[in-house]
């Protein structure tokens, strides 16, 4: 009889205990269901770069309007567009006491190597702005993790490109470099403000009749003005000096651990474009050209006349030729004895121009 009473009392107690547990669980669920746990705000992102990762730090404000502390809080970030998920990362946040508001900095690391692989072969987002989709999932535990809930937040994510712009300017000078020709090409490059350190841009140059190579380095994180060194072999002097042509720079920009391909076109203006020499029947030397360069020319033109390998006559003149100006000159050959060859040398020491033409008479 006694055992029956004990069993009956135990059954009542067990039923009451389960009812209490159910009430507690419902009390925990109801505040979440009523959206008392909410993402109040996602603040402005700050960006940084360590050579391998672009790290985006986003302040996220979470409100716990419920009756219980939130434990085991974590935030899951998705940054994606139609073609790929760029970031999928989880960060543990900790505890938010009941009735409080907490702002935490969520860090979103973008691995440059993986970003390179996603963007290959067009690398669109290395050079262009875009808006990504951002999905933020707050995962939390209630009542010693007896209840687990998620709340979602969606927004736009404004992507800042790594290289915002590259502009090539007109060349300032032409130089001799050993057996090569060196053209200094000024440029302006604008990179994202979150970057730091140094980048390198190098590659090859192709033209209608010219090939060469180039290299430069520039500081990241600002608008930088520098000079690209374009190096050509000396055997294409005539093409560079006398033929305006389109150049294509094909190279790589080295950013930390990745090499991003980049191309740019440039129109080269030859200082002696269309140069032509001829000797007329009336013993007159005729020559013509147009200055297509972006600077005026201060030329020294020397004509040396030869017969059987011996110099028999020489004269020279100075000539100023403005940008875009045409030259069309007729000069009598002022020598009475026979000549079979004239060597014309055109120089401009200020801009590094040196060109020689041999005309057989």
pLDDT digits (tens, 9 = 90+) for 144-164: 454 455 567 777 878 889 999
Across residues 168-181, what is the average pLDDT?
A: 83
Predicted confidence band of residue 36 (pLDDT cuts 50, 70, 90): low
Residue 20 falls within a domain, yes or no? Answer: no
pLDDT at position 171, please? 86
CB-based contact 342:302 (threshold 8 Å): no
Residue 12 falls within a domain, yes or no? Answer: no
Map residue 20 onto helix, strand or coil: helix
Domain of 258?
163-268
Whole-model pTM? 0.76
Whole-Å CA distances, 137 to 93, 121, 230, 299: 12, 32, 51, 71
Claim to verify: residue 283 and residue 263 sit in the same structural domain = no
Averaged pLDDT of the chain = 83
pLDDT above 70 covers what percent of the chain? 86
Give the integer Cα–Cα distance in Å for 297 and 20. Answer: 97
pLDDT digits (tens, 9 = 90+) for 240-291: 899 999 999 999 999 888 999 999 998 999 999 999 998 888 788 899 999 9
For residues 42 and 55, the model is more confident at 55
Point out the domain boundary residue: 159, 183, 209.
Answer: 159
pLDDT at position 111, please? 87
Domain count, the chain: 3
Candidate from 35-44, 98-107, 217-226, 249-258 with smallest mean pLDDT: 35-44
Point out the domain boundary residue: 138, 159, 180.
Answer: 159
Point out the domain boundary residue: 228, 248, 268.
Answer: 268
Give the integer Cα–Cα distance in Å for 258 and 126. Answer: 11
Residue 26 falls within a domain, yes or no? Answer: no
Map residue 293 onto helix, strand or coil: coil
Residue 135 falls within a domain, yes or no? Answer: yes
Report how far apart the first and last C-alpha atoms of the chain are (Å, whole number): 141
């Amino acid at each position: 009889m006694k055992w029956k009473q004990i069993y009956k009392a135990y059954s009542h107690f067990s039923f009451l205990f389960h009812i209490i547990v159910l009430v507690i669980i419902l009390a925990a669920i109801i505040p979440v269901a009523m959206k008392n746990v909410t993402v109040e705000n996602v603040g402005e992102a700050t960006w940084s770069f360590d050579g391998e990762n672009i790290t985006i730090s986003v302040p996220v404000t979470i409100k716990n309007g419920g009756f219980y502390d939130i434990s085991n809080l974590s935030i899951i970030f998705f940054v994606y567009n139609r073609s790929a998920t760029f970031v999928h990362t989880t960060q543990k946040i900790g505890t938010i006491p009941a009735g409080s508001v907490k702002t935490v900095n969520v860090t979103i690391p973008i691995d440059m190597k993986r970003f390179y692989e996603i963007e290959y072969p067009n690398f669109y987002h290395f050079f262009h702005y875009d808006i990504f989709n951002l999905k933020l999932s707050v995962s939390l535990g209630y009542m010693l993790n007896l209840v687990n809930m998620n709340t979602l937040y969606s927004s736009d994510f404004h992507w800042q490109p790594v290289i915002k712009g590259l502009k090539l300017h007109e060349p300032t000078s032409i130089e001799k470099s050993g057996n090569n020709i060196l053209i200094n090409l000024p440029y302006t490059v604008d990179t994202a403000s979150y970057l730091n350190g140094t980048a390198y841009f190098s590659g090859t140059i192709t033209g209608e009749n010219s090939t060469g190579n180039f290299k430069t380095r520039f500081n990241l994180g600002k608008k930088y003005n520098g000079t690209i060194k374009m190096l050509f072999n000396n055997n294409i002097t005539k093409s560079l000096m006398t033929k305006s042509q389109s150049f294509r720079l094909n190279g790589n920009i080295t950013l930390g651990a990745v090499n991003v391909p980049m191309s740019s076109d440039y129109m080269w203006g030859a200082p002696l474009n269309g140069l032509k020499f001829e000797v007329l029947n009336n013993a007159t030397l005729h020559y013509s050209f147009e200055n297509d360069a972006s600077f005026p020319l201060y030329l020294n033109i020397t004509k040396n006349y030869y017969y059987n390998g011996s110099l028999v006559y020489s004269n020279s003149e100075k000539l100023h030729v403005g940008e875009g100006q045409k030259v069309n000159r007729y000069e009598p050959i002022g020598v009475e004895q026979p000549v079979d060859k004239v060597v014309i040398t055109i120089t401009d020491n200020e801009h590094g121009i040196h060109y020689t033409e041999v005309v057989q008479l």
